[in-house]
Structure 1
Amino acid sequence: MQEKTNSIEDNLVLKHFYDEDLYNDSDEYGLDIITLRYTLLQCRRQLLIWIKSLIDTECAYTKVELREDFDKLKLECDNLKNETSFLRTNFLELIDNCKFLIDQTTEILIERDNYYSEWEFSRNILTPRPDWNKCSHLITQWKNLSLGKTSEQLVDILINEINHENMEKKDTEYFSMMINNKNLEEKTNIKLTDYVFDYLTKRFNSKEIAIEICYNIKDACNRYQNRYEINLFWQILTGQIEENVYYYEMKEFARILQYLIKLCPHSSSQSLLSTIRWSDLVTALHELYPNWTNERISLLIIAAERDLKQSSKERNDLEFLLLFTEDDEGHIGEFLMTIRQQLKLDKIEYIEKIKDLLIGYPLISINQFKQAVELVDPHISKEELQRYINWVFELEKISLTSNKEAILSKTNENIQLIKQIQKRDFEEIILRLECCSCFMH
């Protein structure tokens, strides 16, 4: 557009340049208009040229670095080159040292292998010496027992300790089984600890032997506390858990067994090969425990399949009596263990319902506890409810009666104890209830 304008102006200038009349014309002031226009046009062109030159100069100046900055960068670059050269020299020295260490390590390994070969040869031709320190994993006091003893004496000590530990375990399992299966209903006033001591005294006809065995039982129970039966026996013996916890579990196992025996076509037979159908087992479990979900019953069926090592889909019948047997060490199968776990879940749910009614009360009286249990379990008998109360509030420590005269006749110490146990802390009640044999009736 600008070029077109310039060409028009040039034509106009040429036109007037060759027109002498126009060229010689002047205005009233004596000014040459054409010459003036031409001069202005030339000035305009020069102005544009200078503007363009100025713009080019500014653009070129932005790409120019200051001399001071250039000198700084050059100095830094030289320093970095020197450091790189120094590091390269150190790196080459490290490579040489590393190669030297590799050679030394190789020589040491060769020397070690030679020593090992000599040691193997010497061990084969010389009398072998056993590593007695390995016995410390089997016998806890081995370091003290083996101090200053010869090899022959150490062998005797090892044999005696192993026999002693085996006897401790067998005796503990035997006593726990015998005492837990004892029916102590006729001796409710006798503590279990006293009953155990009397039992051992009568069996061995010696109080000294009974005392020694009691210490051995304590040590064995602590050592084999990972065994459920032994740990339960010890907790019952020390009063941490109510004795009925064991009896209730055994009654449930017996109830399931009796129910399955009735389903057996040959119920009069006592053979372990008596069979029922898998579907009968599922139906029996649903009838015995109607509140259990299908998922919980499925867990029992899976456990029974593992015990019998057979699938319910492959065979229609199962030898159910094998589910209630024990191995050589007295361990029950997965089926009964799963029953035990499911009963524990029912107990937790039962306690949670009671807990929801009692929560919010820092101290809970016997009447409050009694009302909460009756609301949760309306079909509970008076005897069972009293058993709960006796255990939770530890009423066995003192014989309580409703007779005021009997209470007044007691000493001041007993009266203070009565006042203390009439109300108990909420947390204590829940903890005691968890150690009690409680279930929905």
Structure 2
Amino acid sequence: MQVGSKNQSPCAQLDSLRDDYEEVRKEHEILLQLHMSTVKERDQFYSELQEIQRTSTPRPNWTKCESVVAGGPDRWHMLAEGKNSDQLVDVLLEEIGEMLLQEKDFFPGLGYGESVPPFLRVDGVVENKKPTKKDVVNLLKDAWKERLAEEQKEKFSDFFFSFLERRFGPADAMAWAYTVFENIKLFHSNEIMSQFYAVLMEKMSESVYVKHKETISQLLKEMTNADSQNEGLLTMEQFSTVLRSIFPFKKEEKIQELMEAAGWQLSSNADWLSYQSLFTEVGGWGGPGTCLVLS
């Protein structure tokens, strides 16, 4: 905008003011367009927000599960500890599935189709043996012991059925095959069950399972050796040293992932780690997430 001068004639001043007015008018139009565009964009965002609020699912009140899960609040708190909503859905599905599984007296046979695994090929109905979850886990442990001791290894699914025939007799082998299969298909959160199912259905190579178990065994051995006081405790430095010795080619961020999987954050103020708890079947390094880190 130009500033008027005393030496300008009235006509020149008028022209200057007209120019100033035109400049201000154009700026006003630009600002008005920007304002209208902003208002339109705001209204669009507001409509989208209302639609999201209308269709979004509210955060579940997981405490409602306490009264329906066997064991009540204490057991639910134990099952739910440290899990996100997606994981809690899996836990709840397993709990419901377990109750339904125990109510079944028989399983319908799947027939003899090519898509049916050989160890499940039968017509009619087969008995549900209704073992406990612990019974199934112990049975799978015994199966793995026999499998690893084999010199001439047959196909894993054939071995599985042969193992059941040896354990329960030919007459009951098919019933146990269905019973075990339905259990290991249900319990994704149990490492032993989920891995056995993955190998049985050829979703995981048997060698991957064996390597994983060997690595876990080696980790426990090295941590025990580092525990000179035999107290079941390691310092962060001792723990990280063991990890680097077992995984010399892993990058630093992968080592950190392992430490976090063990529950030891960089920000942790803890001086010691109870490493033996990492090797229990519930939680710790038996979980599928850590299996992926170790692979």
Structure 2 length normalisation: TM-score? Answer: 0.49
Structure with more of its chain in helix, by fraction: 1
